[in-house]
């Protein structure tokens, strides 16, 4: 697995900590917003009207489901309706944390590390449980899809992606990696996005010297690839990279306002398809966010202080619009961009059809 050049070693983020402040729902008709971060309550906006539909407690998303933990009680919510759909009591000894969910949200993953071992517990609605115990305290959760539990193992100079086969009840002896490359990942896991069909998990990694790459995990095939992104020498510029998927999930857009780069990645072949430049904005060290228009022809990108409208087919980026943006999403007709700004107030920017 290609390590980010010049990267500083660090621990990969869990899906909970790596999650963006916004999560599209119901095929882009709703937007879940965590203005206070991943530990805050979730506000679900109607992208047709810009109004708040309902609030949900803090938790972990998997598809359109959200899992919330309150003591030993796990509760599943359908984020597209706001309804509580299932619950389970995790009958566990000791202090376990909710650290993730399966890609479809139907299974919750809890973990506890103590006495030089790490215990993962997979819990389904109505209480069915599965425990996996691994030696050492360097393990963390990455993803769960079918019978494949993907884990991160931290090492002295980086970390590896490991696969635990739930059907065979064993840890694969070799880490996942790009053929011919090292299995060691270095850098900081900064942002991640899942493909609509749940097959791919795409994570943005940043290096200490401003390098960036996308780690593409094929959850169905159990393989991993790394795609280098342009830009180097400025960590503040690298943090502005934002990820957005085309509606069909075949193209990943990586856009950096700090470096002034728009990169198109072919997800199936895990290669950079094309790229172009635009006038870069200021470097403020804030994670970039992005939203794709319903017709897929425009992408809105923000560094929390400005908003850019990108038209990839025309290789055009409109001048930045000064606007505080914690989260953003296009209206269902594509004529407006809803922006969650200061004090979580929702406003709109006219962007045409």
Residues 30 and 157 placed together within one structural domain of the fold = yes
- Give the model's confidence band at 186: pLDDT under 50 very low, under 70 low, under 90 confident, else very high: confident
Residues 241 and 310 placed together within one structural domain of the fold = yes
Boundary (domain end) residue, out of 186, 202, 222: 186
In a domain, 295, yes or no: yes
- pLDDT tens digit string along 97-139? 999 999 999 999 999 998 889 999 999 998 889 999 999 889 9
Residue 344: predicted pLDDT: 86
Which of 44-58, 122-136, 188-202, 223-237 has the highest mean predicted lDDT (pLDDT)? 44-58
* Structure-token pair, residue 200: 């791919």
Place of tokens 């290789």: 315
Predicted confidence (pLDDT) at residue 184 exceeds the cutoff of 50? yes
- Give the model's confidence band at 208: pLDDT under 50 very low, under 70 low, under 90 confident, else very high: confident
Q: What is the mean pLDDT of residues 86-94?
A: 88
Dihedrals φ, ψ of 223, to 5°? -125, 160
Q: Report the half-sphere exposure of 192 (CA within 13 A, side-chain side).
A: 24
Residue 15: predicted pLDDT: 59
Place of tokens 């944390």: 97
Residue 284 lies in domain: 230-353
In a domain, 63, yes or no: yes
Predicted confidence (pLDDT) at residue 298 exceeds the cutoff of 60? yes
Residues 329 and 270 placed together within one structural domain of the fold = yes
User: If you count DSSP H runs as helices and E runs as strands, how many of each does the chain have, helices first?
Assistant: 2, 32
Which residue(s) pair with 78 in the sheet? Answer: 65, 83
Q: Report the half-sphere exposure of 105 (CA within 13 A, side-chain side).
A: 21
Q: Residue 306's Cα: distance from chain center in Å?
A: 21
Residues 164 and 241 placed together within one structural domain of the fold = no
Rounded CA separation 164/10 (Å): 22
Predicted confidence (pLDDT) at residue 3 exceeds the cutoff of 70? no
Q: Report the half-sphere exposure of 290 (CA within 13 A, side-chain side).
A: 26
* Strand 321-322 versus strand 223-229 pairing type: unpaired
Q: Report the half-sphere exposure of 230 (CA within 13 A, side-chain side).
A: 20
What Rg do the C-alpha atoms of the chain give, in angstroms? Answer: 20
Which string of b and e fits 221-254 if b means at least 16 CB within 10 Å? eeebbbbebbbbebbebbbbbbbbbbeebebbbb
Residues 154 and 63 placed together within one structural domain of the fold = yes
Contact (Cβ atoms closer than 8 angstroms) between residue 321 and residue 349:
yes
Residues 259 and 170 placed together within one structural domain of the fold = no
Q: Which of 4-13, 15-24, 55-64, 341-350 has the lowest mean pLDDT?
A: 4-13
Rounded CA separation 223/177 (Å): 7
What burial class does residue 154 get, using C-beta atoms within 10 Å of its C-beta: 0-12 exposed, 13-18 middle, 19+ buried? middle
Residues 10 and 95 placed together within one structural domain of the fold = yes
- Structurally, the chain folds into a number of domains equal to 2
- Give the model's confidence band at 266: pLDDT under 50 very low, under 70 low, under 90 confident, else very high: very high
Three-state SS sequence of 265-285: EECCCCEEEEEEECCCCCCCC
Residue 243: predicted pLDDT: 96
In a domain, 224, yes or no: no
Residues 21 and 126 placed together within one structural domain of the fold = yes
Rounded CA separation 79/34 (Å): 13
Residues 239 and 163 placed together within one structural domain of the fold = no
Residues 174 and 311 placed together within one structural domain of the fold = no
Residues 36 and 151 placed together within one structural domain of the fold = yes
Place of tokens 């290669």: 271
In a domain, 236, yes or no: yes
Is 350 or 21 the better-scoring residue by pLDDT? 350
In a domain, 225, yes or no: no
Q: What is the mean pLDDT of residues 191-209?
A: 90
CATH for 236: 2.130.10.10
In a domain, 217, yes or no: no
Please name the residue ranges forming H helices in 3-58. Answer: 15-18
Rounded CA separation 319/90 (Å): 51
Q: What is the mean pLDDT of residues 146-172?
A: 93
Residues 88 and 29 placed together within one structural domain of the fold = yes
In a domain, 200, yes or no: no
- pLDDT tens digit string along 303-342? 999 999 999 999 999 999 999 999 999 999 999 999 999 8
Residue 16: predicted pLDDT: 56
Nearest to 102 by CA among 148, 133, 58: 148
Predicted confidence (pLDDT) at residue 9 exceeds the cutoff of 70? no
Residue 313: predicted pLDDT: 93
Residue 282: predicted pLDDT: 87
Contact (Cβ atoms closer than 8 angstroms) between residue 330 and residue 341:
no
Q: What is the mean pLDDT of residues 39-61?
A: 94
Q: Which of 1-15, 189-203, 315-329 has the lowest mean pLDDT?
A: 1-15
In a domain, 204, yes or no: no
């Amino acid at each position: 697995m290609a390590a980010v050049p010049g990267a500083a070693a660090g621990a990969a983020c869990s899906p909970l900590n790596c999650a963006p402040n916004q999560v599209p729902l119901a095929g882009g008709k709703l937007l879940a917003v965590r203005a206070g971060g991943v530990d805050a309550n979730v506000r679900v906006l109607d992208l047709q009207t810009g109004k708040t539909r309902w609030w949900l407690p803090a938790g972990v998303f998997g598809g359109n489901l959200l899992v919330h933990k309150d003591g030993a009680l796990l509760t599943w919510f359908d984020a597209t309706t706001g309804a509580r759909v299932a619950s389970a009591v995790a009958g566990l000894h000791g202090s376990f944390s909710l650290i993730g969910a399966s890609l479809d949200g139907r299974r919750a993953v809890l973990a506890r590390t103590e006495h030089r071992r790490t215990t993962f517990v997979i819990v389904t609605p109505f209480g069915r449980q599965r425990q996996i115990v691994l030696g050492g305290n360097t393990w963390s959760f990455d993803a769960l899809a079918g019978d494949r539990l993907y884990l991160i193992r931290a090492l002295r100079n980086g970390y590896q992606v490991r696969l635990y086969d739930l059907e065979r009840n064993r840890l694969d002896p070799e880490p996942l990696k790009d053929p011919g490359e090292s299995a060691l990942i270095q850098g900081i896991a900064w942002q991640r996005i899942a493909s609509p069909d749940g097959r791919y998990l795409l994570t943005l990694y940043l290096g200490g010297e401003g390098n960036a790459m996308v780690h593409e995990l094929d959850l169905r095939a159990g393989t991993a690839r790394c795609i280098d992104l342009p830009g180097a020498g400025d960590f503040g510029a690298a943090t502005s990279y934002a990820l957005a998927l085309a509606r069909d999930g075949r193209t990943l857009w990586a856009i950096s306002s700090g470096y002034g780069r728009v990169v198109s990645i072919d997800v199936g072949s895990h290669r950079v398809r094309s790229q172009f430049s635009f006038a870069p904005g200021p470097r403020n060290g804030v994670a970039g966010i992005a939203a794709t228009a319903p017709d897929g022809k425009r992408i809105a990108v923000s560094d929390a202080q400005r908003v850019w409208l990108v038209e990839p087919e025309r290789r055009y980026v409109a001048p930045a619009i000064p606007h505080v943006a914690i989260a953003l999403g296009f209206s269902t007709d594509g004529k407006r961009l809803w922006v969650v700004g200061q004090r979580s107030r929702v406003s709109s920017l006219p962007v045409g059809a």
